[in-house]
Amino acid sequence: MGDHALEYMTGGVAVILGNTGRNLGAGMSGGVAYVHRLRRDAVNRDSLANGELELLPLDRADVELLHSYLQLHVEKTDSALAKRLLENWEATVAEFVKVLPRDYAAVIQTRQTAADEGLDPDGAVVWGRILEVTGG
């Protein structure tokens, strides 16, 4: 990956198996990235310092999603690297870091809470909550 991996990412999922440059995540406002052997010093310093980006361990759902993406990558490309990572999955998965924008995480949590309450996650009440948690 180049110096500005994930720059201005607004949604979706990225899986990075190789090295990154020096400015990962600058302007990242949405989506989630799973980065193998992430070097913290390669992440945009300002985004980390002001809390815009969170570097998190993977939860169970992340592990399952990442595993399925790597399997798909092997099926589609016959990637030797992805095969090696899958062969030693228990050790490999511990080497991944989840990169998540703070406000995106707040939106996901707000929508999930609303759904749990029986509210329409796209309704006006929820949008009001989203504006509140993200600072508008």
**Does residue 107 lie in a domain region?**
no
pLDDT at residue number 136: 79
pTM for the predicted model, two decimal places = 0.89
Domain limits for position 26: 10-101
pLDDT at residue number 21: 86
Number of domains in the chain: 1
pLDDT in tens, the chain (136 residues): 778 899 989 999 999 999 888 899 998 999 999 999 999 999 999 999 999 999 999 999 999 999 999 999 999 999 999 999 999 999 999 999 999 999 999 999 999 999 999 999 999 999 999 999 988 7
**Does residue 97 lie in a domain region?**
yes
**Does residue 41 lie in a domain region?**
yes
What is the rounded distance in angstroms from the CA atom of residue 11 to the CA atom of residue 108?
A: 12
Strand segments, DSSP code E, in the chain are: 10-16, 30-36, 53-56, 96-101
